[in-house]
Amino acid sequence: MLDQAADLDRVFHALADPGRRVMVVRLSQGPASVSELGRPLAMSLAAVLQHVQVLEASGLVRTQKTGRTRTCSINPAALRSAESWIAGRRTLWERRLDRLGDYLAGTAGPGPAGTRTQKSDPSKEAR
């Protein structure tokens, strides 16, 4: 649990930088070398390497050195863990709203039989 929290710290920290997000966008289209990753960014190769190290430490990116070229690729598991954490919170909040809606519909006063609002469609929670 502690390790998972530390992982999320690192993943969200890595994603908080616009340059690193540009790198993740590039890598989601396929592996790339460090110099390819730096091409669209106005920064030195040393700065690009530092960002790659932050991405690698977070688990978002894996790198492999072949000869003089370091190739980077995305690790979807780290993306998924961050996405799941956010989706879990959002779903909890939406369920609470649904329950509140049900409660308000139930206390809106007695109407004709059969007109009470039905429980909201559970499929909506999957959006």
Task: List interacting residues with a copy of itself (CB under 8 A).
Answer: 5, 8-10, 12-13, 15-18, 21, 24-25, 27-30, 74, 76, 79-80, 82-83, 85-87, 89-90, 92-94, 96
Nearer to a copy of itself, 68 or 127 (CB): 127
CB of 113 to a copy of itself, least distance (A): 32
Nearer to a copy of itself, 76 or 111 (CB): 76
Q: How far is CA 101 from CA 68, 105, 115, 126, in A?
A: 61, 6, 15, 18
- The 8 Å CB, 24+ separation contacts for 12-16 are 12/82, 13/54, 13/58, 14/54, 14/55, 14/57, 14/58, 14/60, 15/60, 15/82
CB of 107 to a copy of itself, least distance (A): 18
